Chains A and B, each alone.
Chain A
Amino acid sequence: MNIPSDLLYTKTHEWVKKNDDGTVYVGVTDYAQAELGDLVFVNLPMEGDTVGAEEPFADVESVKAVSDVNSPVSGTVVAVNEDVADAPVKINETPYEAWLIQVSDVEDTAELMTAEEYAAFLENQ
């Protein structure tokens, strides 16, 4: 299981990448994509939408299931990844490059784990 050390993680299997400009990227983890199976569609919010920590902001579909993706932070969506919307397979192939949204004005954050903590968390799943 791929768990990059420079990212932070949630218990609901999202990852967060902090950028120098104070914004963050949010995506779903390798573990999540493997559990979900071949993804066929991603329902993303719109630029300008606000997201709340631990609240769903998107959903991802496989052929026979649909799952909410929760936001690890509160803030404003400044960008959505149209490439992923066009080709959800990217989440399966490169989950840590396939960010879903970029969030600015980050205020609240959910309880986040380091890579080691997340690895330990997965062990206990």
Chain B
Amino acid sequence: MKLIFERGEEGQGLSLMPACDVPVVKPQSGYAREDKLNLPHVSENELSRHYSELGKAVHGVNDGFYPLGSCTMKYNPKINEAVAALPGFTGVHPLQPEETAQGCLEVLYDTEKALAEISGMDSVTLQPAAGAHGEFTGLMLIKSYLRFKGEKERVKIIVPDSAHGTNPASAAMCGFEIVNIPSAPDGCVDLEALKNAVGKDTAGLMLTNPNTVGVFDKNILEITKIVHDAGGLCYYDGANLNAVMGVVRPGDMGFDCIHFNLHKTFSTPHGGGGPGSGPVGCKAFLADFLPGVRVKKDAEGKLHASKSPKSFGNVKAFGGNFLVVVRALAYILTLGKEGIPEAAKNAVLNANYMQACLKEDFDLAYNVHCMHEFVLTLDRLHRETGVSALDLAKGLLDNGIHPPTMYFPLIVHEALMIEPTETEPKETLDEAIAVFKQLKKLAYENPQALHDAPTKTPVRRLDDVKAARTPVLKYKFQ
């Protein structure tokens, strides 16, 4: 494919801007640009075709099955896109007077209330822009609370070795020391290891439940109690909330704060990597520290935004990724009180069905009923055929399936983490299962075919080493 800089020719372009109807003012020489500005020079047709061509070289949720574990690639409903494009939302300036933005404030208010109910928390902020940003926010809540209480010696955050990389990275950004604890053989929290890890220096624990191997930790109440007894707080990483929303609530499990991923659980699209939205919910005792503004309703039903008394500041300019929140609210309104648990239960059903079918041919990392996702280990296949999890994943590409998450969690060798989500019909699951089984057969018959895969994609395997050793990070203009 040509780069957009390689199309069109100098002098070409769209006619977008009118002539100036006031006296022209340009920057004085000290402030004027001298460097040539190299940008594309294409007609609208060339521009449009260029991006159509790029679009054809992308696999979206709309293009096929996307069982990417821990990412919850569910269908993105069209009504969400339609309401997010309403001019009544897109045209509102973030700093316009609040009486002229009542609709936006109501979107925030309603979404905060719904998320609080779903998570069993008391307050929610919609300011964080993504999951990791939510982690940062939640940890800052913990830090601010501990500072307020004068417990400066609590500097350690406990993170299981199966955690997402963002957990330790976020804790480090908040100035915490990280204590990694090993998982028990069943992939759950090792209670003894946890008991040994907590102490007077414990600020808190970060956990997903269901955890990253797709299992609901049955000891969850004991886990949160151990941390609380030691004087620490419990943070719930909402990456896996899709398995339990409407069924069981993090607030009832003993967690003090949580981040949501609206782009996972609440059906907003991933956009090729973002924008997402990572609201943070917390129990009442943390609410005064929340960042951004709180939206409150007065007796006449008018909405007002104000800062919390002990707010630790802002994590982002303005109120958050608002249009993502609009989409999530449309989704919550659509599903309602029954639809939300129905989605969770069907996500769990689909995952267990795939697991039941695939365990006939593959090894499960943990042979128990799973929640919304499960982990295969291709360790044996790798040893016997030389075909790795990566090779199998590349084989899936040739069959129009986006591969599962590979090599995660780190505690499982040759891991493939599969999350079908509730929005796939049984038919799709059956087709995918057949492909998995066929690829396993191929691994034993003709492993080279899988080492060579993919062959039907726009490009074949790319040289990552070359890209990293001699980085070419932009186009070089002539």
> Which residues of A are interface residues toward B (Cβ below 8 A)?
38, 40-41, 61, 63-64, 88-89
List 5 A-B pairs, minimum CB-CB distance, nearest first.
Answer: A40-B468, A38-B465, A63-B464, A40-B469, A63-B468
Cross-chain pairs A/B with CB under 8 angstroms, 14 sampled: A38-B465, A38-B469, A40-B465, A40-B468, A40-B469, A41-B468, A61-B468, A63-B464, A63-B465, A63-B468, A64-B407, A64-B464, A88-B469, A89-B469
Q: Which residue on chain A has the smallest CB distance to residue B470? A: A40
The distance from the CB of B417 to the nearest CB of chain A, in whole angstroms, is: 16
Q: Give Cα A41 to B465, complex, Å.
A: 10
Q: Which residues of A contact B464 (CB under 8 A)?
A: 63-64
Give the number of A-B contacts (CB < 8 Å): 14
CB neighbours (8 Å) of A38 from chain B are: 465, 469
Q: Which residues of chain B have a CB within 8 Å of any CB of chain A?
A: 407, 464-465, 468-469
Q: Please, which residue of chain B has its CB at the minimum distance from the CB of A40?
A: B468
> B222 → chain A, closest Cβ, in Å?
34
Q: Nearest Cβ distance between residue B249 and chain A, in whole angstroms?
A: 36
Minimum distance in angstroms from A19 CB to a CB of chain B: 30
A37 to chain B, nearest CB (A): 8
Chain B hits for A64, CB < 8 A: 407, 464
> How far is the CB of A23 from the nearest CB of chain B, in Å?
30
Closest chain B CB from A112 CB (angstroms): 28
| CA gap between A50 and B469 in the complex, in Å | 28
B465 contacts across to A, CB distance below 8 A:
38, 40, 63
On chain B, the residues within 8 Å of A63 by CB distance are 464-465, 468
Name the residue among B407, B464, B469 with the largest chain A CB count within 10 angstroms.
Answer: B469
Closest to B469 in A: A40
Complex interface: chain A residues within 8 A of B469 (CB): 38, 40, 88-89
In the complex, what distance in Å separates the CA atom of A63 from the CA atom of B464? 7
- Interchain CA distance A61-B465 in the complex, whole Å: 11
Residues of chain B lying within 8 A (CB to CB) of residue A61: 468
Q: Which residue of B lies closest to A38 (CB)?
A: B465
Q: How far is the CB of B362 from chain A (nearest CB, A)?
A: 23
The complex places the Cα of A88 from the Cα of B469 at a distance, in Å, of 8
Q: Which residues of chain A come closer than 8 Å to B407, judged between CB atoms?
A: 64
Shortest CB distance B120–A (Å) = 38
The residue in B407, B464, B468 that gathers the most chain A C-beta atoms within 10 A of its C-beta is B468
Residue of B nearest to A87 (CB): B469
Extra contacts, 12 of them, besides A40-B468, A63-B468 (Cβ < 8 A), are A38-B465, A38-B469, A40-B465, A40-B469, A41-B468, A61-B468, A63-B464, A63-B465, A64-B407, A64-B464, A88-B469, A89-B469
Smallest Cβ distance from B404 to chain A, in angstroms?
A: 17
**Chain A positions within 8 Å of B468 at CB level:** 40-41, 61, 63
CA distance A88 to B464 in the complex (A): 15
CB contacts (< 8 Å) of A40 on chain B: these are 465, 468-469
Min CB gap A84→B, angstroms: 13
A60 to nearest B CB, angstroms? 12
CA–CA, A89 to B407, complex, Å?
A: 25
Minimal Cβ-Cβ distance residue in A for B468 = A40
Chain B residues lying within 8 Å of A88, measured Cβ to Cβ, are: 469
Closest-CB distance, B408 to chain A (whole angstroms): 11
Please give the distance in Å from B328's CB to the nearest CB on chain A.
33
CB of B205, distance to nearest CB on chain A (Å): 25
- CB-nearest residue of chain B relative to A88? B469
Expressed in whole angstroms, the Cα–Cα distance for A63 and B469 within the complex equals 9
Closest to B465 in A: A38
Q: How many Å lie between the Cα of A64 and that of B464 in the bound state?
A: 9
Query: CA of A63 to CA of B407 in the docked complex: distance in angstroms?
Result: 14
Docked pose: A40 CA to B465 CA in angstroms: 7
Contacts of A89 in B (CB 8 A): 469
Q: How far is the CB of A106 from chain B (nearest CB, A)?
A: 30
Complex CA distance for A88 and B465, rounded to whole angstroms: 11
Determine how close the nearest CB of chain A comes to the CB of B368; give it in whole angstroms: 29
Shortest Cβ distance from residue A42 to the other chain B in the assembled complex, whole angstroms:
11
A61 CB, nearest partner CB in chain B, Å: 8
How far, in whole Å, are A50 and B274 apart by their CA atoms in the complex? 42
With A and B bound together, what is the CA distance between A64 and B468 in angstroms?
A: 10
Docked CA distance A89–B468 (Å): 11
The residue of chain A having its C-beta at the shortest distance from the C-beta of B464 within the complex is A63
Output the least CB separation between B148 and chain A (Å).
35
A9→B232 CA distance, assembly (Å): 43
User: Which B residues touch A41, using CB under 8 A?
Assistant: 468
B103 to chain A, nearest CB (A): 46
Closest chain B CB from A67 CB (angstroms): 14
Bound complex: CA A57 to CA B268 (Å)? 44
Chain B residue with the shortest CB-CB distance to A92: B465
**Who on chain B is nearest to A41 by CB?**
B468
Min distance, Cβ B171 to any Cβ of chain A, angstroms:
18
Report the bound CA distance from A88 to B407 in whole Å.
25
A40→B467 CA distance, assembly (Å): 9
Instruction: Report the minimal beta-carbon distance from B376 to chain A, rounded to whole angstroms.
Output: 19
Complex CA distance for A61 and B407, rounded to whole angstroms: 17
Q: Report the Cα distance A103→B436, complex, angstroms.
A: 53
Cα distance, A38 to B466, chains bound together (Å): 10
B3 to chain A, nearest CB (A): 24
Name the distance in Å between A90's Cβ and chain B's nearest Cβ.
11
| Cα–Cα, bound, A102→B312 (Å) | 47
Measured CB to CB, the closest approach of chain A to B158, in angstroms, equals 22
Nearest opposing residue in chain A for B407, CB measure: A64
Distance between Cα atoms of A1 and B465 in the complex (Å) = 23
A40 CA / B468 CA spacing, docked (Å): 6
